[in-house]
Structure 1
Amino acid sequence: MSLMAVKIIFQPSGLRGRVEEGISLLEAARQLGVDIESVCGSTEICGKCKVKIEAGYFAKFNLDSQMSHLSGLSGEERGVLTEKEIAENYRLACSTRIYGDVLVFVPEESRGKKQVVLEQGKERLFKLNPAVRKIPLEVEAATLGDLRGDFERIRDALAASCGLTKDLTIDFPVLCNLPNILRYERSKNRRITDKGMPLTKDTWNVTVTIWNNREIILVEPGLIEHCVGLAVDVGTTTVVAYLCDLKNGKVLDMDSMMNPQVRYGEDVLSRISYVMMNESGMRHMRDAIIEGINTLTCRLAEKNGFLPEDIVDVVMVFNTVMQHAALGIEPKFLGRSPFIAGVKSSMNIKARDLGIKVCQTSYVHTLPIAAGFVGADNVGVLIAEEPYREQEKIRMCIDIGTNGEIDIGNADKMLCTSCATGPALEGAQIKFGMRAAPGAIEKARIDPETIEISYKVIGQEQFYPELKTTGAKGICGSGIIDIVAELFKAGIIQSNGRFNMGLNSNRIRKGEDGKPEYVVAWAEETSIGKDITFNQADVRAVQLAKAALYVGANYLMEKLGVDCIDSIVLAGAFGNFIDRESAMVIGMIPDCDLANVVAAGNAAGDGAKLALFDVDKREEAAWIAREIEFIETAIEPDFQKRFVAAMAFPHAGDKFPHIQHLLDKIPKP
């Protein structure tokens, strides 16, 4: 068999390239800068380099990934992998050789270094008024003279002690076990040995968990003092979960991971495509995200001394496609005009129906969505930031991701829209782009006089050239924005995005494809043994993404009747880490006083937490989702004209007075 280059994509890192046919998956990973654990030194005994092969055609990548493109299963692999893992296409990267195009998903436990995920939001004031509360209760014991049923006995006790009406219902599985719980022998319950209230002849002592003052979702013997809930933000790229104390309003702990669905596509449209083109696509997508949520849930519970079933309330936010994938709602019509969601309103779903490993009789509350691609995560941002409470000033909230959501307005009126920014800003369509992980270039500055660059890599404190060997592997989103802005400010690329090849620098050259590129890091500085460059196609990808965002913001300003913005809130991980000046220099965001452009951290996650702690926030979310007006920018007659104008740096016509002093310094070709 003659040797040739085959295409391989590693998820969730997004790193990809062509490698020589016949090398191992582990060797291919190392060539492309993908960190995979290999404790045994590739002797096929530790099982740490376990990866999953995704079989099928992936239209987004034009990639046909098949198990037949790999070497056969070795005896060593059979000794390490379980039958279930073999059936699910798991292989050991060190012993599996590649002979055709494949898409490889690296499970979290096999990854050498963890992706940088934004978990923190900011301190916010809220009222502690959760949907779920635990009530210690003394219930009159049954006697021959009192023939009430056990449920009626509890309902009467709650009415007498808490004023709850007798319309209170009870979850059926709780009812089925109620007689045993009320007559529980205290010594058999290890969890209330120290805290349990002693049983007497006249009373049965229990703790009743009530949901929304309407339904009994749990009855436990004795006194149970803890009451914990879970807030989950399911993003296209990452999933973040927060374990919260519903009695004191504190976040006990948080954890995160890459969204396991990344293996099926890096943006929402590619995942819709995967569902449509693969018979079991929907099941695979849903199983992946539920498994991810359960992994985070179990890790948080164990770390903090709880059992997963101790979690008695859950709030989830997600973009619209992620919502459909997690709930099992057919998503294909979201990919077709008029882009209608299966459900817009908030929902309360039993955890057992979703397969989420918390108290099975508890509810999972999902925030509502505002429009087709303005999802519950954006509503979470709104109830966290509350721009609709501004009396006079105009505030804009921008959540930048593979799909960008924009809100603008104040107490008088709120508008919103969504923009298909694509995954370029997260590195997916950039030649040396990668996720924000150790080894990614996250900051950069270019000297306009010498054309030399200084940059910082995640995991390193010093900048190059202070640090001669940086271990750089690629460029993450914040680094991409910095590099484009710096190329423009130094006159290396012009306003139209084209390279100025007349500059005298060995960093500016033509690549192997004959197209212009700038050398960001020389091979000897990196850990991948090759020059890391930023080329003409990379610039174009950023132009498309930033233009989509700017045009969306521009239309909202016009519809609201304003020509300037008082403040901009950048929500989400990307907004938190990018340089505000760089973003404005390339025209990603409208002109605004940079002092009033602020990062809000994971505002969507904050919104989920607020809705977990305060049931009134759920009503507020339902209200704003109804009241905010969605603007579909793509159907505007002059959309294409505006989009083309927004492709220029910072814009072909619009003025940016707050950064004009920077633009004036740019060398003219």
Structure 2
Amino acid sequence: MQIVLRIQPEGTQVLIPASLPLPEALLTAGTAIALPCGGKGTCGRCRVRFLGTAPVPTPEEFAEVSSNELEAGWRLACRHILTDSAEIYVPPSSQWVPAKDFFAQMPAVWAHRYRRFLLRVPNHCSLQSEDLRAYVNEHLRQHGHTHPTWLGRAPLDLPKSLSYTPTRLQVDLYDDYVLRVHISERAATRSPLGLAVDVGTTTLAAALVDLETGEVLAADSTLNPQARVGADVMSRIRYAMESPEGTMRLHEAVVRGIEELSRRLIQSTPHAYKDILVAVAVGNPTMMHTLFGESPQSLGQAPYFGLWYGPRIEAVSCGQFELLPHLLLVGGPMISGHVGADLVAAVVATGLLAQPQPVLLLDIGTNCELALWDGQTLWVTSAPAGPAFEAATISSGMRAEPGAIDHVAFTSDGQVLIHTIGGGPPKGICGAGLIDVLALLLEIEGVDAAGNLQPARECVESLRIQPSAHGPIYELSIFAHGSQVPVTLTQADVRALQLAKSAIRAALEVLLHESQITPAKLTRIYLAGSFGAHLRASSLQRIGVLPEDVAPDRILSVGNAAGAGVVHMLCRREAWEQALQVARSAKYVELAGMPLFDELFIEHMQFPSRP
């Protein structure tokens, strides 16, 4: 049964199957909903308004939505299944529009993974016979490709009959994999394209890349469709464990997400789907397992081993990718059950192994991955930071979009400067703003070293502490110019930030201990990820995420390093070989059950004190 879903204010109208969960129905229509709590109805962030008859409120909605809002048709999207046609208003605050860049600067000279060969067709060779495959193989061997691989089927892009005999064929080769054989006259104007895919737990991103030039033609991102079953990797693993079809549903969700991104990328360029020959994907181990249709269950149980760690190369099965039926899918190499191909790609992009002195790389997100190069050995680990730094579970938290407070600082005359993305009135606060606020509060003693808000202290004009309606808990209210409502930071928010920063700092200290390096010897600290690009080094040091004995000018934001790295891995043979070397040689440090990590975690729950 099909029903009609109308989405406002975009005015979108689509036919969808009945009985879909509302977040999935909205995603099918191209509107992604933020589900920070994993769709449990506890965060209240997925509010939508039914413009017609609204469903009966659930107990969770009585707790999270006011009676006036319920009467006006407001509901939590995660609590409902759409059984009838509906018109629904989705406010910007409930939508998820993530963004990741894929900027990659190619060197002047590089060895291509993609190559094209032009062959003259011999008179005795039939276009539809095994003779053609043998002839192609012999030609490739003469050019140094001793073991060409056809992956079980001949990707012949040739007509069954011709009114003429073509004089030349073109063979598209990727490493030693034959991607396509076609008539060269027809291929003259077609560029060979590849997809660079970053499969994040929260964000799914892809770039359309010219395989010959390395140019990123277009890039796009969306909410990972798997997010409807949970916000973190453990929720995905539990789903695979508890549902007989969980693994396959997770696989289908990420495949459909990649196909949707492919559709949008192709529509933004003059190219065709058949020009996309290969995709290289990176992500954490759970995402990589689900991408290839493998169960991630072993990643959630001690000793937390994956089913594989090396590179994985497959020709997609018939019907798996409907828009890209002849795609060669390549999974980047991983390091351990907790450190994936995304960190490997970031190491490649930043050139960590080429640095003569100690360098640290942090990819800060829900799961923080760290890599420390001491000049001889690459030490890596992973820390469960949780979603606090991304503001997902913070009382006034929001993603980095217009209206989000992203920076807070003192001016030269002692006033507080509050900056919002887009310059408009504050609507909430994003992760970078949270860290700035916390650093500022520590400076003015609005928060003590133990993380307690100090209600008796008079703060500067823009910041004031007042009792909340929840008993002996206090709220910090930020009243900026033009703000309609206060943006609050509660005691619970501070505790969530403490847990996150302590996990990251403890993991960092463990790597320093294992490598016998002091923080002062670090010549660079790279902050990777779309979140890391907006962080202020001084604020990270003030709240204790990073050691204070590293000069701030040594702390650099490198943006989406995993995205840049996967573009290099897609196009450049040297980058791919370096990724394999990184994955083989890295020394993984397991934090679970390590007494030193537990001790450091407790120690760094305290905020640094000023002398």
Superposed pair shares fold, TM > 0.5: yes
Structure 1 unaligned blocks of 5 or more: 1-24, 27-35, 78-92, 186-198, 461-469, 652-662, 665-669
Q: Choose which of 518, 521, 538 in structure 1 pairs with 2:493.
A: 538
Query: CA separation in 1, counterparts of 2:586 and 2:77?
Result: 49
Report the alpha carbon displacement of residue 604 of structure 1 after superposing the two structures with TM: 0.5
SS in 2 for 1:609: helix
Report the alpha carbon displacement of residue 620 of structure 1 after superposing the two structures with TM: 1.9
Q: CA RMSD in A?
A: 3.9
Q: Choose which of 306, 318, 329 in structure 2 pairs with 1:341.
A: 306
Q: Choose which of 558, 564, 570 in structure 1 pairs with 2:527.
A: 570
2:315 corresponds to which residue? 350
> Which residues of 2 match residues 408-419 of structure 1 at below 5 A?
408-419=372-383
Query: CA separation in 1, counterparts of 2:368 and 2:88?
Result: 27
Query: CA separation in 1, counterparts of 2:140 and 2:78?
Result: 67
Asked if structure 2 preserves the Cα contact closer than 8 Å seen for 1:128 and 1:249, the reply is no
2:63 corresponds to which residue? none
Asked if structure 2 preserves the Cα contact closer than 8 Å seen for 1:396 and 1:567, the reply is yes
Q: Choose which of 335, 340, 344 in structure 2 pairs with 1:370.
A: 335
1:102 aligns with 2:79: yes
Asked if structure 2 preserves the Cα contact closer than 8 Å seen for 1:231 and 1:605, the reply is yes
> Which residues of 2 match residues 587-606 of structure 1 at below 5 A?
587-591=544-548, 592-606=550-564
1:250 aligns with 2:219: no
Asked if structure 2 preserves the Cα contact closer than 8 Å seen for 1:388 and 1:409, the reply is yes
1:555 corresponds to which residue? 510
Query: CA separation in 2, counterparts of 1:108 and 1:289?
Result: 25
Asked if structure 2 preserves the Cα contact closer than 8 Å seen for 1:58 and 1:264, the reply is no
Query: CA separation in 2, counterparts of 1:52 and 1:127?
Result: 50
Report the alpha carbon displacement of residue 168 of structure 1 after superposing the two structures with TM: 3.7
> Which residues of 2 match residues 626-645 of structure 1 at below 5 A?
626-645=584-603
Asked if structure 2 preserves the Cα contact closer than 8 Å seen for 1:414 and 1:629, the reply is yes
SS in 2 for 1:508: strand
2:421 corresponds to which residue? 458
Report the alpha carbon displacement of residue 209 of structure 1 after superposing the two structures with TM: 1.7
> Which residues of 2 match residues 504-519 of structure 1 at below 5 A?
504-505=458-459, 507-514=464-471, 515-519=473-477
Query: CA separation in 2, counterparts of 1:140 and 1:596?
Result: 62
Q: Choose which of 548, 560, 565 in structure 2 pairs with 1:607.
A: 565
Query: CA separation in 1, counterparts of 2:306 and 2:150?
Result: 32
Give the letter aligned to residue 544 of structure 2.
Answer: G
After superposition, the Cα gap between the structure-2 partners of 1:344 and 1:636, relative to the gap in structure 1 and judged at 3 Å, is same
> Which residues of 2 match residues 131-210 of structure 1 at below 5 A?
131-142=113-124, 150-153=129-132, 155-156=134-135, 159-160=138-139, 163-164=142-143, 168-174=148-154, 181=159, 183-185=161-163, 199=164, 203-210=166-173
Asked if structure 2 preserves the Cα contact closer than 8 Å seen for 1:448 and 1:491, the reply is no
* Fraction of identical pairs, as percent: 26
Give the letter aligned to residue 118 of structure 1.
Answer: K
Query: CA separation in 1, counterparts of 2:89 and 2:136?
Result: 49
Asked if structure 2 preserves the Cα contact closer than 8 Å seen for 1:440 and 1:474, the reply is yes
Give the structure with higher Rg (CA): 1
Query: CA separation in 2, counterparts of 1:259 and 1:126?
Result: 35
Query: CA separation in 2, counterparts of 1:631 and 1:607?
Result: 23
Query: CA separation in 1, counterparts of 2:16 and 2:119?
Result: 52
Query: CA separation in 2, counterparts of 1:487 and 1:324?
Result: 42
Asked if structure 2 preserves the Cα contact closer than 8 Å seen for 1:395 and 1:409, the reply is yes
> Which residues of 2 match residues 306-345 of structure 1 at below 5 A?
306-345=271-310
Q: Work out the number of aligned pairs and report it.
A: 562
2:22 corresponds to which residue? 53
After superposition, the Cα gap between the structure-2 partners of 1:62 and 1:166, relative to the gap in structure 1 and judged at 3 Å, is closer
Query: CA separation in 2, counterparts of 1:235 and 1:101?
Result: 21
Q: Choose which of 436, 442, 452 in structure 2 pairs with 1:488.
A: 442
Asked if structure 1 preserves the Cα contact closer than 8 Å seen for 2:100 and 2:220, the reply is no
After superposition, the Cα gap between the structure-2 partners of 1:261 and 1:533, relative to the gap in structure 1 and judged at 3 Å, is same
Asked if structure 1 preserves the Cα contact closer than 8 Å seen for 2:214 and 2:567, the reply is no
SS in 2 for 1:504: coil
TM-score (norm 2): 0.82
After superposition, the Cα gap between the structure-2 partners of 1:108 and 1:563, relative to the gap in structure 1 and judged at 3 Å, is farther
1:584 corresponds to which residue? 541
1:425 corresponds to which residue? 389
Report the alpha carbon displacement of residue 322 of structure 1 after superposing the two structures with TM: 1.3
SS in 2 for 1:638: helix
Query: CA separation in 2, counterparts of 1:345 and 1:429?
Result: 35
TM-score (norm 1): 0.75
Query: CA separation in 2, counterparts of 1:100 and 1:156?
Result: 58
Report the alpha carbon displacement of residue 366 of structure 1 after superposing the two structures with TM: 0.8
Asked if structure 2 preserves the Cα contact closer than 8 Å seen for 1:136 and 1:207, the reply is yes
Query: CA separation in 2, counterparts of 1:571 and 1:352?
Result: 34
Report the alpha carbon displacement of residue 491 of structure 1 after superposing the two structures with TM: 1.2
Residue-by-residue CA offset, 1:96-126 (whole Å, 9 max, x unaligned): 6649982799x99967477352314453537
After superposition, the Cα gap between the structure-2 partners of 1:478 and 1:151, relative to the gap in structure 1 and judged at 3 Å, is same
Query: CA separation in 1, counterparts of 2:78 and 2:22?
Result: 11
Query: CA separation in 2, counterparts of 1:431 and 1:409?
Result: 37
Report the alpha carbon displacement of residue 173 of structure 1 after superposing the two structures with TM: 4.5
